Amino acid sequence: MREQNDYIVYVKDLTKVFGDFVAVDKINFRVEKGEIFGFLGANGAGKTTAIKMLTGLLAPTSGEAVVAGFDVRREPEKVKYNIGYMSQKFSLYDDLKVSENIRLYAGIYGLSRKEIKRKSKALLEELNMVALRDKLVGELPLGWKQKLAFAVAMIHEPAVVFLDEPTSGVDPITRRQFWEMIYKASVAGTTIFITTHYLDEAEYCTRVSIMVDGVIEALDTPKNLRLKYGADNMQEVFVLLARGEHTLQGKIKKEK
Amino acid sequence: MKNSIIQIEQLSKSFGEVRALDNINLSVREGEIFGLIGPDGAGKTTLIRILTTLLLPDTGKATVTGRDVVRDYKEIRKLVGYMPGVFSLYEDLTIAENLKFFATIFQTTIKENYHLIKDIYQQIEPFKDRRAGQLSGGMKQKLALSCALIHKPEVLFLDEPTTGIDAVSRVELWDMLKKLKRMGLTIFVSTPYMNEASMCDRVAFIQKGEILEVDSPEGIVASYEEPIYAVEGGRFYQLIHALRALEMVKAAHLFGETIHVTTYRRIAPEELARAIKEREGMDISVREIEANIEDCFISKLHQIIH
């Protein structure tokens, strides 16, 4: 049998209770190296609480989670060092230059001066942004900013990177370029843990979980989920599950 | 054809060196749901704020219900409802207090226009004594919509009402907008989600302050002329690069469970499958498809980039 350390994210009966409200109710899943794991759910389903526990920001009430080899309850600081994180709401500092943002995050993740110099150069070249190194991040178009934020979140070569709605509001071409960066990272062995409201993006994931009212209601490859719920696409699967209509077989089909 | 209720002519607005709106011309018909579709930073909010008289244009002219947005701003404010992209109600007032406040400043009462908000407000009425700051995102939005409607506006402006909310709530919101349309309101709504275009009577694509196209969703799709194919099979990452390496391929984009490929000339689907098989040894399935709205927008974006 495989050990929990074989997985990049190992979650067993993970639970969070606020007062008498069970925000996350005994969730279980495992994510393997290089997977693109889509973590979906309606607003208020418990996604954010779960992500906060997995990134070491919030202690679980019960259950366990091991992320990048570290226990989120016992070693939350080590978890933070060994993961990458990026969200649409918070990523880079607008009033710092491109190069300053890179230096700041590389420093926070404990890279040496020498490494920072080498990595900054490589990162800017890779993104075709060498000429923009002295520009304020606030002056960059959103799409560039998001690509830079993603690269910065991976500057310390984490085993897993958490992306919280990274493509919100970006144009359709940039959104796809962003996904190609995700694929590239995944092919290179980085595990991707991603949330999104664009349900076409759920199709790009290796596996997708859908949270409803604190529990994981479904977890499988997009193709299997489509087949299981008799849906044409992930949008239908999501609406079916999030509305709790999956128990009334084919209700959504009939309504069409 | 119905009368135009919003008329925009050669409208421009800059912030410093940034040209937020560049010579915009648009006309919105009475009683339609008009969608302004484009990514963040395209100018959607700027245009809505000019039309709701919250921002002055640099040049050009815009009228709403026949009134000029600069000269007749006081009248326009009584005739339009506006739901901004960020929650802007009083968080320390309750649901009922917020609604009463907005009714009062527009010199009306909740009772007088209750029929307009009934369907929406009833869903949050059980919590009417709860402070707005303590509501969930979905409830906040229903309250904001109720407050934007309580003075019985002729035109309702909504700035990205579906951004950041889940797919289920998005479906609910569009249902509400359709009901309001049936009550006679004109609805001007912005969104970054291309697939919501089909909910609108007509849409405008906006990018970097310019309107790229205005038409009905059906019209936009019908005017798309490039041959386009859906490709399935193999691993996305390897496949998309293999496709782009082919001479016949103009562009390849991820599209849900498939990759959409446009080519320079019309080909037989087998031709593409054979080329990939020969080059990469991958088995793929290819079928010619009708473009969807997002294909059209991507194609327009490519035209302005190149």
ipTM: 0.79
- Closest in A43, A172, A204 to B138, CB measured: A43
Kindly determine whether residue B294 and residue A172, on different chains, have CB atoms separated by under 8 Å.
yes
For residue B6, give the nearest of B111, B79, B85, B113 by alpha carbon: B79
Residue-level pLDDT at A253:
41
Kindly determine whether residue B168 and residue A238, on different chains, have CB atoms separated by under 8 Å.
yes
Kindly determine whether residue A186 and residue B237, on different chains, have CB atoms separated by under 8 Å.
yes
- Closest in A42, A172, A174 to B297, CB measured: A172
Kindly determine whether residue B137 and residue A141, on different chains, have CB atoms separated by under 8 Å.
no
Chain B residue closest in CA terms to A201: B256
Regions of chain A with pLDDT less than 70: 1-5, 90, 245-256
Percentage of chain B lying above the pLDDT 90 cut: 81
Domain B228-290 in CATH 3.30.70? The answer is: yes
Q: CA B211, CA B205: separation in Å to the nearest integer?
A: 6
Q: What is the pLDDT of residues B96-114, one digit of tens each?
A: 999 999 999 999 999 999 9
User: What value does the mean pLDDT take over residues B174-201?
Assistant: 94
Residues 6+ apart with CB under 8 A from A107: A116
Interface of A with B (CB under 8 A): 41-44, 141-143, 165, 168-174, 176, 179-180, 183-184, 186-187, 197-200, 203-204, 222-223, 226, 233-235, 238-239, 242-243
* pLDDT band with cut points at 50, 70 and 90 for residue B1: low
User: What value does the mean pLDDT take over residues B4-11?
Assistant: 97
Residues of chain B with CATH 3.40.50.300: 4-220
Chain B residue closest in CA terms to A180: B237
Question: Of B193, B257, B298, which to mutate for an interface test with A (greatest number of A Cβ within 10 Å)?
Answer: B257
Residues of B in contact with A43 (CB under 8 A): 136-138, 165-166, 169
Residue-level pLDDT at B91:
95
For residue A208, give the nearest of A220, A200, A196 by alpha carbon: A220
Chain A residue closest in CA terms to B166: A42
Domain B4-220 in CATH 3.40.50.300? The answer is: yes
Kindly determine whether residue A172 and residue B39, on different chains, have CB atoms separated by under 8 Å.
yes
User: What value does the mean pLDDT take over residues B121-150?
Assistant: 92
Kindly determine whether residue A176 and residue B253, on different chains, have CB atoms separated by under 8 Å.
yes
User: What value does the mean pLDDT take over residues B62-71?
Assistant: 98
Task: Report yes or no: A34 and A190 within 8 Å, Cβ to Cβ.
Answer: yes
Interface of B with A (CB under 8 A): 38-42, 136-138, 163-169, 171, 192-195, 207, 236-237, 240, 253-257, 294, 297-298, 301-302
User: What value does the mean pLDDT take over residues B62-75?
Assistant: 97
Average predicted confidence (pLDDT) for chain B: 93
User: What value does the mean pLDDT take over residues B206-215?
Assistant: 94
Residues of A in contact with B289 (CB under 8 A): none
Residues of A in contact with B301 (CB under 8 A): 171-173
Chain A residue closest in CA terms to B135: A44
Residue-level pLDDT at A246:
58
Residues of A in contact with B137 (CB under 8 A): 43-44
Q: What is the pLDDT of residues B39-50, one digit of tens each?
A: 888 999 999 999
Residues of chain B with CATH 3.30.70: 228-290
Q: Which two tokens stand for residue B51?
A: 């039309």
* HEC per residue, chain B: CCCEEEEEEEEEEEECCEEEEEEEEEEEECCCEEEEECCCCCCHHHHHHHHCCCCCCCEEEEEECCEECCCCHHHHHHHEEEECCCCCCCCCCEHHHHHHHHHHHCCCCCCCCHHHHHHHHCCCHHHCCCEHHHCCHHHHHHHHHHHHHCCCCCEEEEECCCCCCCHHHHHHHHHHHHHHHHCCCEEEEEECCHHHHHHCCEEEEEECCEEEEEECHHHHHHCCCCCEEEEECCCHHHHHHHHHCCCCEEEEEEECCEEEEEECCCCCHHHHHHHHHHHHCCCCEEEECCCCHHHHHHHHHHHHHC
First vs last C-alpha separation in chain B = 36
Chain B residue closest in CA terms to A89: B164
pLDDT at B163 > cutoff 90: no
